Amino acid sequence: MKLSDPTKLSLILAIAISLLFAGLVKLLFNLSAAPIEGYYFAGSSILFFVIIFFMIRYSVKNFIFEKIRVIYKTIHQFKKSSREPIKPARGQDTIEKVNQEVLQWQKDTHQQIEDLKQRARYRREFIGNVSHELKTPIFNIQGYVLTLLDGAVDDPQINKQYLERTENSVNRLINIVEDLENISQLESGALKLREEHFNVVETARDIVEQLEIKAHQKGIRLYFRKKYDKIQVKGDHHRIRQVFTNLIDNSIKYGTEGGTTKISFFDMHDHILCEVTDNGPGIPEQSIPRLFERFYRTDKARSREKGGTGLGLAIVKHIIEAHNQTINVRSKEGVGTTFAFTLKKA
């Protein structure tokens, strides 16, 4: 039996005290051998019980449960919840309700702490990755310049080669800074999208033609799932081109030699689902949740050898989310990977 209701608690305490009082009174009369009237004894016991009951009930409500209600309200002031707090009415199971609220608050607070720890861990990783990505081309530039200053500048074969390598490292630095700037603008909302209507099939076809030579060098075939008619969508045309370029380029860069990359479109009522599918090596399952993080690489050594800033997929995700759309990835090692995102129909 729960004793968290003030009335029940007061009633039980009053009965216990009254029985104890009646027993003591009867014992005293027995010891004194004085006679006691039954109705007088019963009446005084009932009166004592009523007085004790209301005294205990008043004390419990005003000195215990009112304090609990203050704690209850304080909890709701600290809880960052959108729902309105439920105020326990008098006579309800107040302590039980407070207990549930405290447990829920503890659960929510624990989750918030874990989220903050995870964000702090990602922040540390991000700073370390930025440092590494910037350090590599800077050290390369320093090495090439020092070699030229030591006399290699007079050798026409070496100086041209080293200057070209220096240019490549400078371009890599520029790409990293530009990508970081793009992400910063997308996250802060400073980068405004220029919404327009355009043919998404034609956009994807343009990107395929641009990357066809690169794909041919690796023996990868780029193709469409079927012959598509004109599909009109709305969004920032330049940014959506950037999305297709990144996804198709990644399928070539990390795909299997002699493999394929397929571009597909599906009608989803008010939206168009766009998919880029390859039959490459696939992505480890544990890496998929972090795939869109800045500088995250599934295989850091191989990824850096193939170039890129490590920011492409993070930019893709921010562009799609800036359009209030979604992007997801399906992958199985040894089978391939599919990136799918939605666009609003025009």
Span 312-329, pLDDT tens digits = 898 899 999 999 999 999
Q: Give φ, ψ of 233 to 5 degrees.
A: -130, 170
pLDDT, tens only, 29-74: 666 655 555 665 677 777 777 887 777 777 766 666 666 666 666 6
* Nearest CA among 100, 98, 90 for reference residue 57: 90
Domain extents in the chain:
6-92, 130-188, 195-345
Assign domain 195-345 to its CATH architecture: 2-Layer Sandwich (3.30)
CB 218 within 8 A of CB 249: no
CB 195 within 8 A of CB 234: yes
Confidence of residue 341 (pLDDT cuts 50, 70, 90): very high
**pLDDT, average across residues 69-83:** 59
Residue 324 burial by Cβ neighbours in a 10 Å radius (0-12, 13-18, 19+)? exposed
Q: How many CB atoms lie within 10 A of CB 142?
A: 12
State CA 134 to chain mean position distance.
27
- 130-188 under CATH 1.10.287.130, yes or no: yes
